A and B are shown apart, each in its own frame.
Chain A
Amino acid sequence: MIFLTGQKSSFYFAFRLAWRQLWHDKIRFVTASFGVIFACILVFMQIGFKNALFESATLLQRTMVGDLYLQDEQSEALWRLVPFPRQHLYRALSIEGVDDVTALYASQAAWKNPVTGVNRTALILGIDPTKVNIFPLVGLNDEKEKLQMRDVVLFDSFSRPEFGPVQKLLKDHGEFPVEVSGQRLDVVGTFKMGITFSADGNLIVNDRTFFKIFPMKSAMGVDVGVITLKNGDDVSRVQVQLRHLLPKNINVLTKEEYIADEKAYWNDITPIGYIFNFGVIMGLFVGLVIVYQVLFNDITNHLHEYATLKAMGYDNAYFVKVVLSAASILVFAGFVPGWVLCFGLYSLVEKSIFIEMNLTFEKSVLTFCLLLVMCFISAVLAVRKLKAASPVDVFQ
């Protein structure tokens, strides 16, 4: 910090005065800090929720290990896919550097809770059982042999509890039958993925079983084509070549683009972004009002003293620095405890809604900056009152 070393600038003195002023009245200081803590928590939670929802929306895209992805241009999101002809996927193999291609089929169907008999919508992924490695999901590798069998299904143990006590049933009774879209299948194992926007639960089946569940679909139409490249091969070069090779209606996306695409879809069709941004603004507004109140009262209560200091030769800029310093101190005083509290709240939320919440460095920086802007706006509003402190006031 520049003003703590070397020549003491007026900033140092202004900061020290602000600190002394805040520290002198500890109750008020704590109250003001609570205002910032409140705003801090609100902002953190809103950003956290928004982020978590978008993260969960792209869970599958993020876990897949493909380098490039093919999709029909009319495909919107994982649950609204439009298939494209399978031969296009295989044509990709002709391009230098392409290691392997995998056809992925995905759709939604009703899962009947084996205990209550109530239907829930599940996302069903169909894949060639020898290629399941493109999903490096926990537990999946151990179960991939079982996926070779006819009419079997692997169950995501992170699905919502409404899907039934599948894991317990498996442990107690071994394989057991369930009904998926009217088809009788056997649950033979579990893996761990997590819920997404598309569904509250997930199933993985082999491609033959997939077409049994969805008779209208055919192996000729691929929903998502996953391309893996040989080690070190240039993704953007292959992407360009593929775009030349394949018809215009097939999108060739890198992993980042694929994730961004899915995010954009959910951002556009749901008001999630809007709702949470609104929450952030509300939090900041409440904090702004509280901080403004404190700063404004500090100025009003000391108008005579400030006028006296002006009469002694202090300039307006000095008091502006004092108020800005007070604002910065309040940001720190609110942010640090707010951050710690949110750390606890995040894990609490994680446990109760099964959605991953991370208090990342980026979120911390973003929240801190928002609070800083909030406090500075409060300061700028409060400072207007300072002009009223005229040095001639000391005579009145």
Chain B
Amino acid sequence: MIKNDPSYLIRASNLIYDYGTGDLTQSVLKGANLEVCSGEFVILAGPSGSGKSTLLSLIGALRKIQGGELSIVGCDLRDADDIVMRKIRRQVGYVFQQHNLLGFLTALQNVEMTLEMFSDYSERERHDLAVQTLQSVGLRRQMDSYSSQLSVGQKQRVAIARSLVHQPKVILADEPTASLDSKTGLQVVEILHGMVKNTGCGALIVTHDHRIFEYADRILNIEDGVVTS
């Protein structure tokens, strides 16, 4: 049983995850252990097909865990129902490889959508926070542009602003730099890194990109369904 220590934002122990059933069963996670504390910038690396995205999706409450224990921001994910899953998703800032911005919304409107899920912001606060966050990713001038008017790197930065605008306790990023050139890729990582150091949240970043490694507090490896440091 995991203790509810608030400094651990992510605690996974002995996580098991299989795809498929019967003869087609493919074991992806075979007892993975992992911890991320607040203020930590952790990188998860591993060969293709090793289960990095699967692990991230479990931590982001996108899938239900099948075995082992997982607690996110003190919330136990075993037997979590849809409502708990949604609550956790809202506390996590997920940065995907694809930006998936809504094309019919401006950059600002896309970012504001994150805040619209929460009833604690006024119209003004939503606007100001979104502008601030866009500014911090260097896109203040582009805030009224639709995504078709932005470059790939700019879109990815809008997506990051959208994931971070509500100051989540946990940042998860799945190959956030894969579709970017090296310069913008580094920019993006610096934004995530700065966010961790400034707000004390924790970040778990999946990447193959070695230039990012120097930012990491810890680098974890996943192979054969288990995590090693």
Closest chain B residue to A12, Cβ basis: B116
A309: B residues at CB distance < 8 A:
113
Asked if A312 and B63 sit within 8 Å, CB to CB, the answer is no
> In the assembly, what is the distance between CA of A309 and CA of B111, in Å?
11
Give chain B residues whose Cβ lies under 8 Å from the Cβ of A391.
Answer: 62, 89
Query: Given B53, B87, B101, which contacts A305 in the complex, CB threshold below 8 Å?
Result: B101
Interchain CB contact under 8 A, A308 and B86: no
Our pick among A23, A25, A394 for the contact of B96 (Cβ within 8 Å) is: A394
Contacts of A307 in B (CB 8 A): 100
Q: Which of A21, A311, A315 contacts B60 (CB 8 A)?
A: A311
Q: Does A361 belong to the interface (CB within 8 Å)?
A: no
Q: Which of A287-345 contact B (CB under 8 A)?
A: 302, 304-305, 307-315
B residues less than 8 Å from A308 (CB atoms): 96, 100
Report yes or no: B109 in contact with A20, Cβ–Cβ below 8 A. Answer: yes
Partner of B104, one of A24, A312, A395: A24
Does B98 reach chain A (CB closer than 8 Å)? Answer: yes
Q: Which residues of chain A are near B181, meaning CB under 8 Å?
A: none
**B80 interface contact, C-beta 8 A:** no
Question: Do A312 and B53 form a contact, CB below 8 Å, given A7-B119, A24-B104, A391-B62?
Answer: no
| B123 nearest in chain A by CB position | A8
Which residues of chain A are within 8 angstroms of B57 by Cβ–Cβ distance? 392, 395
**What are the residues of chain A within 8 A of B146 when measuring CB–CB?**
24
A20 with B104: CB separation less than 8 A: yes
Interface status of B94 (Cβ within 8 A of chain A):
yes
Binary contact track B42-68/A, C-beta < 8 Å → 1, others 0:
000000000001000100101100000
Number of interface residues of A (CB under 8 A): 26
| B121 to A, closest residue via Cβ | A8
Are A392 and B101 closer than 8 Å at their CB atoms?
Answer: no
A7 to B118 alpha-carbon distance, docked (Å): 12
A390 → chain B, closest Cβ, in Å?
8
Interface residues of A in 1-53 (CB under 8 A from B): 7-8, 10, 13, 17, 20-21, 23-25
SS of A interface (majority): helix
Contact A313 B174 (CB under 8 A): no
A23 — nearest CB in chain B belongs to which residue? B104
Q: Closest A-chain residue to B113, C-beta based?
A: A309
Do A311 and B102 touch across chains, with their CB atoms under 8 A apart?
no
B178 partner residues in chain A, CB cutoff 8 A: none
A395 to B19 alpha-carbon distance, docked (Å) = 15
Q: Taking the complex as formed, is B163 at the interface, i.e. its CB lies under 8 A from any CB of chain A? A: yes
B82 closest partner in A (C-beta):
A315
Please encode chain B, from 93 to 109, with 1 for each CB lying within 8 Å of some chain A CB and 0 for all others. 01010101111110001
**Does the CB pair B109–A315 fall under 8 Å?**
no
Structural contact, A313 and B89, CB atoms closer than 8 A: yes
CA distance A24 to B149 in the complex (A): 14
Docked-complex contact A311 and B94, CB < 8 angstroms: yes
The answer to whether B86 and A313 touch across the interface, beta carbons within 8 angstroms, is yes
Query: How far, in whole Å, are A30 and B104 apart by their CA atoms in the complex?
Result: 16
* Bound CA span A99–B143, Å: 82
Asked if A394 and B63 sit within 8 Å, CB to CB, the answer is no
How many angstroms from the CA of A80 to the CA of B101 in the assembled complex?
72
For A313, the chain B residues whose CB sits under 8 A away are 86-87, 89-90, 117
On chain A, the residues within 8 Å of B116 by CB distance are 10, 13
Which residue among A17, A25, A308 has the maximum number of chain B CB atoms within 10 Å of its CB? Answer: A308
What is the minimal beta-carbon distance from A272 to any residue of chain B, in angstroms? 46
**Is B98's CB under 8 angstroms from A394's CB?**
yes
Per a CB cutoff under 8 Å, which of B63, B104, B117 touches A25?
B104
The answer to whether B174 touches A395 (Cβ under 8 A) is yes
How many Å from the CB of B17 to the closest CB on chain A? Answer: 12
Q: Which residue of B lies closest to A9 (CB)?
A: B119
Of residues 105 through 139 on chain B, the ones whose CB sits less than 8 Å from some CB of chain A are 105, 109, 113-114, 116-117, 119, 123
Q: Is B104 a contact partner of A304 (Cβ separation < 8 A)?
A: no
Per-position contact with A for B161-205: 1 when CB-CB < 8 Å, else 0? 011000000000010000000000000000000000000000000
Bound-state CA distance A21–B106 (Å) is: 11
Closest to B89 in A: A313
**A326 → chain B closest CB, angstroms:** 12
- B-binding residues in A (CB < 8 A): 7-8, 10, 13, 17, 20-21, 23-25, 302, 304-305, 307-315, 391-392, 394-395
Residues on B facing A (Cβ under 8 Å):
53, 57, 60, 62-63, 82, 86-87, 89-90, 94, 96, 98, 100-105, 109, 113-114, 116-117, 119, 123, 146, 162-163, 174
The 5 tightest CB contacts between A and B, nearest first, are A24-B104, A313-B90, A308-B100, A313-B89, A391-B62
